[in-house]
Structure 1
Amino acid sequence: MADLVTPGELRQLIAAPHPDVAPLPRATPYADGARALRGVPYAEVADARPLELDLWLPASADPAPLVLFVHGGAWRRGRRDDMGVRTRGWAPGPFERLAAAGFAVACVDYRLSGEAIFPAPLEDLRSALRWLGLRADELGVDPERTVVWGESAGGHLASLLALTHDEPRLAGAVVWYGPADLTSPRPPFDPADPTTPEALLLGGAPASVPELAAAASPLKRVHAGAPPFLVVHGEADSMVPGSHGRDLAEALRAAWVPVELRTIPGADHCWHGATEDEVIRIFAASLDFVRQHT
């Protein structure tokens, strides 16, 4: 007869291994020796779904510099493996291209605004960095050479992570059309409106929670000693006005933080309206920035 156990002991026995010690999934091989590990758990959060990441690894056996990619979706939706509508049809895809260039890429889940309000998503990114550092030797990545790269809402979170994470200090941040200020009216954004994506992120209209809105605004978190930034924004962005990118770059320069600002004439949000050659150049410039700072 099998040994009897209490319900509590049984729950412990059948629970999935903690992400810190769970076996890694089998890697899928790609061209140029790149490999992808899909759906790797990196954190357990009370009363929430397990958080996962996809990890792209280059062919090199040396510890690889790391890109932490943060997806967009108005903090409300989105997929960790999506760099935006203009790269969805690429073959090879953008993450495979980064791996072929010698970089590891961690595409991370974070809690969306329907699951938890700010600062939950930022805390999740910090948890991902902690897990990647903990298992760096096993994965073959160098957490001391990490650039965070985000688009739209992910660009906002990437900015905040670069400006608030100290151990280890990030090597840089790539920000594609990310919101930088959740406190001031910037049409179509109205800080008094409780129905905006920003309000859903904060759990209330930004004007009603001014301290939290300031804490969630990269523009308010700029400081000397922050890592270098590449800020890229469309001049015709109708969802996140280009003033976000310009003002963030200006604040970084005023704090003596290295920053490169690229504005794309005629480009709307997610590079809508830009030519395919322009999108490829934006990606190449972002890759060059990562290479330079790792």
Structure 2
Amino acid sequence: MTEFHPVPEPRKTLTHAGCVVSAPFGHRPLQLDLHVPPGDGPFPVVLWIHGGAWTTGSRVWTVDQRFHERMVSRGYAVADVDYRLALEAVYPAQQADVDAAVRWLRHHAATLRLDPDRFAVLGESAGGQIAAIAALTGTGDTAIQAAVIWYGPVDLSTLREQDDPFAFPALLLGGPIGERTAFARLASPLHNVHPDAPPFLLVHGTEDDIVPFAEAVGFAEALRAQGVRCDVLPVEGAGHVFAGASVEVGTFTEAGIDFLDDVLTG
């Protein structure tokens, strides 16, 4: 029996839909949707990077169904960013796609009422790895000023299934992790920390059996050792995608906004 995806709910906050930010040769044009608060701005912008094990999902996927409303009501623009999935192109295509979105938004910042000096990323799961890499490697017109990561993997080189060519990280990297350890480290936020990295907030379930909570702890320790602010918000008893959390997902969106208010002002 065919299983159909539901009809998407109207997005009341959407102001610019289907913005083409890049057209990689041989691939579909990559787009973003932009939600901008009313008013003159300029507004800080959060790039939403969806999850899906690098192999599924799109920019319209959100974990918090009121994510955009919460962000916009508190003065943040949101850019929902598409990137090539692993079976379309291997890493670092995904990093290049997010960088292209950042460049496009910064280039058009005045027209879009965005503040080019207050760009943040918020990624979940596989999107958390991509968001963290964007934050750690961006410079100049791709620079990111803050990062919020929801249960993202930070060390691809030590993941399980090292010899499986069909494991999700292997699909991202183009082959078994055990055969490309150096490349896996290159794609791992943990191995890209440096003293000039922007501040991070890590929100992670303590019972996550897909991306263990210990990954967030180790990543935070590595960033702090470089003198970089890294806050950790443990979600007690929650698994991956905050399954089993005792509070609604919107609580974590609001916590992220509180963090951004703190680090992007002044």
Question: What is the TM-score when the length of structure 2 is the normalising length?
Answer: 0.92
State the distance in 2 between where 1:63 and 1:111 align: 29
Which 5+ residue runs of structure 2 have no aligned equivalent?
A: 1-9
User: Identity over the aligned pairs, expressed in percent?
Assistant: 41
Which 5+ residue runs of structure 1 have no aligned equivalent?
A: 1-27
State yes or no: 1:176 paired with 2:155. Answer: no
Aligned position for 2:170: 199
State yes or no: 1:131 paired with 2:119. Answer: no
Supply the AA of the counterpart residue of 2:261.
R
Out of 247, 260, 265, the residue aligned to residue 290 of structure 1 is 260
State the distance in 2 between where 1:76 and 1:35 align: 26
| TM superposition shift of 1:293 | 2.0
Supply the AA of the counterpart residue of 2:202.
V
Out of 51, 56, 61, the residue aligned to residue 77 of structure 1 is 56
State the distance in 1 between where 2:54 and 2:128 align: 11
Listed one character per residue, the Cα deviations across residues 12-69 of structure 1 (whole Å, up to 9, x for unaligned) are xxxxxxxxxxxxxxxx994xxx543221111111000010101000012121111011
State the distance in 2 between where 1:29 and 1:124 align: 24
**Cα RMSD, aligned residues only:** 1.5
Q: Secondary structure at the match of 1:183?
A: helix
| TM superposition shift of 1:248 | 0.6
Q: Secondary structure at the match of 2:60?
A: coil
Supply the AA of the counterpart residue of 2:53.
A
Q: Aligned ranges for residues 93-108 of structure 1 at < 5 Å?
A: 93-108=66-81
Which of the two has higher C-alpha Rg?
Answer: 1
**When the two structures are aligned, how many residues end up with a matched partner?**
254
- Are the structure 2 counterparts of residues 134 and 114 from structure 1 closer, same or farther at C-alpha, using a change threshold of 3 Å? same
| TM superposition shift of 1:193 | 2.1
* 8 Å CA contact 1:178, 1:240 repeated in 2: yes
* 8 Å CA contact 2:14, 2:33 repeated in 1: no
Question: What is the TM-score when the length of structure 1 is the normalising length?
Answer: 0.83
- Are the structure 2 counterparts of residues 152 and 36 from structure 1 closer, same or farther at C-alpha, using a change threshold of 3 Å? same
Supply the AA of the counterpart residue of 1:170.
I
Listed one character per residue, the Cα deviations across residues 143-184 of structure 1 (whole Å, up to 9, x for unaligned) are 210011100011111110111001143211000000000111
Write out the 4+ residue segments of structure 1 that deviate beyond 3 Å after TM superposition: none
| The 10-residue stretch of structure 1 (215-224 or 162-171) with the greater mean CA deviation from structure 2 | 162-171
| The 10-residue stretch of structure 1 (239-248 or 265-274) with the greater mean CA deviation from structure 2 | 239-248
State the distance in 2 between where 1:250 and 1:191 align: 25
Listed one character per residue, the Cα deviations across residues 51-99 of structure 1 (whole Å, up to 9, x for unaligned) are 0101000012121111011000001011212222xx23xxxx2112211
* 8 Å CA contact 2:70, 2:254 repeated in 1: no
